[in-house]
Protein backbone atom coordinates (compact mmCIF):
# COMPACT_ATOMS: atom_id res chain seq x y z
CA UNK A 1 0.00 0.00 0.00
CA UNK A 2 2.81 2.41 0.76
CA UNK A 3 4.25 1.61 -2.65
CA UNK A 4 1.02 2.96 -4.13
CA UNK A 5 1.43 6.20 -2.22
CA UNK A 6 4.99 6.53 -3.55
CA UNK A 7 3.80 5.82 -7.09
CA UNK A 8 1.00 8.39 -6.98
CA UNK A 9 3.33 10.97 -5.44
CA UNK A 10 5.78 10.32 -8.28
CA UNK A 11 2.96 10.95 -10.76
CA UNK A 12 2.23 14.23 -8.97
CA UNK A 13 5.89 15.22 -9.38
CA UNK A 14 5.68 14.49 -13.12
CA UNK A 15 2.49 16.54 -13.29
CA UNK A 16 4.11 19.50 -11.58
CA UNK A 17 7.11 19.32 -13.89
CA UNK A 18 4.90 19.24 -16.97
CA UNK A 19 2.73 22.11 -15.75
CA UNK A 20 5.88 24.15 -15.14
CA UNK A 21 7.06 23.48 -18.69
CA UNK A 22 3.63 24.41 -20.10
CA UNK A 23 3.60 27.61 -18.04
CA UNK A 24 7.02 28.61 -19.32
CA UNK A 25 6.01 27.97 -22.92
CA UNK A 26 2.85 30.05 -22.58
CA UNK A 27 4.66 32.86 -20.79
CA UNK A 28 7.29 33.03 -23.53
CA UNK A 29 4.62 33.28 -26.24
CA UNK A 30 3.06 36.38 -24.75
CA UNK A 31 -0.35 36.97 -23.24
CA UNK A 32 -2.08 33.96 -21.68
CA UNK A 33 -5.54 35.41 -22.31
CA UNK A 34 -5.05 34.94 -26.05
CA UNK A 35 -4.25 31.25 -25.59
CA UNK A 36 -6.68 30.47 -22.77
CA UNK A 37 -9.41 28.71 -24.77
CA UNK A 38 -6.92 26.90 -27.00
CA UNK A 39 -4.96 25.68 -23.98
CA UNK A 40 -8.01 24.41 -22.10
CA UNK A 41 -9.27 22.55 -25.16
CA UNK A 42 -5.88 21.04 -25.96
CA UNK A 43 -4.96 17.41 -25.44
CA UNK A 44 -2.06 18.46 -23.19
CA UNK A 45 -4.34 20.24 -20.72
CA UNK A 46 -6.76 17.31 -20.66
CA UNK A 47 -3.90 14.83 -20.13
CA UNK A 48 -2.49 16.96 -17.30
CA UNK A 49 -5.94 17.10 -15.68
CA UNK A 50 -6.27 13.32 -15.81
CA UNK A 51 -2.73 12.91 -14.47
CA UNK A 52 -3.43 15.31 -11.61
CA UNK A 53 -6.71 13.60 -10.69
CA UNK A 54 -5.19 10.11 -10.76
CA UNK A 55 -2.23 11.12 -8.61
CA UNK A 56 -4.05 13.20 -6.01
CA UNK A 57 -7.01 10.87 -5.56
CA UNK A 58 -4.77 7.80 -5.75
CA UNK A 59 -2.66 9.00 -2.84
CA UNK A 60 -5.75 9.89 -0.86
CA UNK A 61 -7.45 6.53 -1.46
CA UNK A 62 -4.27 4.63 -0.58
CA UNK A 63 -3.87 6.51 2.70
CA UNK A 64 -7.56 6.00 3.54
CA UNK A 65 -7.27 2.26 2.87
CA UNK A 66 -4.11 2.05 4.96
CA UNK A 67 -5.85 3.88 7.82
CA UNK A 68 -8.92 1.63 7.67
CA UNK A 69 -6.80 -1.53 7.74
CA UNK A 70 -4.81 -0.18 10.65
CA UNK A 71 -7.95 0.81 12.59
CA UNK A 72 -9.55 -2.58 12.01
CA UNK A 73 -6.45 -4.42 13.17
CA UNK A 74 -5.91 -2.23 16.24
CA UNK A 75 -9.49 -1.77 17.43
CA UNK A 76 -10.90 -5.23 16.76
CA UNK A 77 -11.61 -7.36 19.81
CA UNK A 78 -11.22 -10.65 17.99
CA UNK A 79 -7.96 -9.72 16.32
CA UNK A 80 -9.36 -10.03 12.83
CA UNK A 81 -6.62 -10.95 10.42
CA UNK A 82 -6.95 -9.23 7.09
CA UNK A 83 -5.56 -11.32 4.28
CA UNK A 84 -3.04 -9.83 1.93
CA UNK A 85 -5.04 -11.00 -1.08
CA UNK A 86 -8.10 -9.09 0.17
CA UNK A 87 -6.04 -5.93 0.53
CA UNK A 88 -4.66 -6.38 -2.99
CA UNK A 89 -8.15 -6.87 -4.46
CA UNK A 90 -9.52 -3.80 -2.70
CA UNK A 91 -6.46 -1.85 -3.77
CA UNK A 92 -6.92 -2.90 -7.41
CA UNK A 93 -10.60 -1.96 -7.25
CA UNK A 94 -9.74 1.48 -5.84
CA UNK A 95 -7.15 2.04 -8.58
CA UNK A 96 -9.71 1.11 -11.26
CA UNK A 97 -12.27 3.42 -9.66
CA UNK A 98 -9.67 6.19 -9.51
CA UNK A 99 -8.73 5.87 -13.18
CA UNK A 100 -12.39 5.76 -14.26
CA UNK A 101 -13.15 8.75 -12.06
CA UNK A 102 -10.46 10.77 -13.80
CA UNK A 103 -11.22 9.67 -17.37
CA UNK A 104 -15.04 9.89 -17.41
CA UNK A 105 -15.21 13.73 -17.26
CA UNK A 106 -13.09 14.08 -20.41
CA UNK A 107 -15.04 11.58 -22.52
CA UNK A 108 -16.65 13.55 -25.36
CA UNK A 109 -20.20 12.41 -24.69
CA UNK A 110 -23.02 15.00 -24.66
CA UNK A 111 -24.46 13.65 -21.41
CA UNK A 112 -21.08 13.77 -19.64
CA UNK A 113 -20.14 17.21 -20.97
CA UNK A 114 -23.43 18.79 -19.81
CA UNK A 115 -23.06 17.74 -16.16
What Å distances lie between residue 6 and 11, 59, 108, CA to CA? 9, 8, 32
Question: pLDDT tens, 7-59?
Answer: 777 877 787 787 777 776 766 566 667 777 777 788 888 888 888 888 888 88
- Band (pLDDT 50/70/90 cuts) for residue 80 is low
Q: What is the pTM of this model?
A: 0.66
Percent of the chain with pLDDT over 90: 2
Q: What is the 3-state secondary structure (H, E, C) of 61-101?
A: HHHHHHHHHHHHHHHCCCCCCCCHHHHHHHHHHHHHHHHHH
Amino acid sequence: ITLQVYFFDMIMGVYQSLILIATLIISLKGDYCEFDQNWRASTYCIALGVLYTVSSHGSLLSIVMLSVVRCISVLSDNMIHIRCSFILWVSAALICFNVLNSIVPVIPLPYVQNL
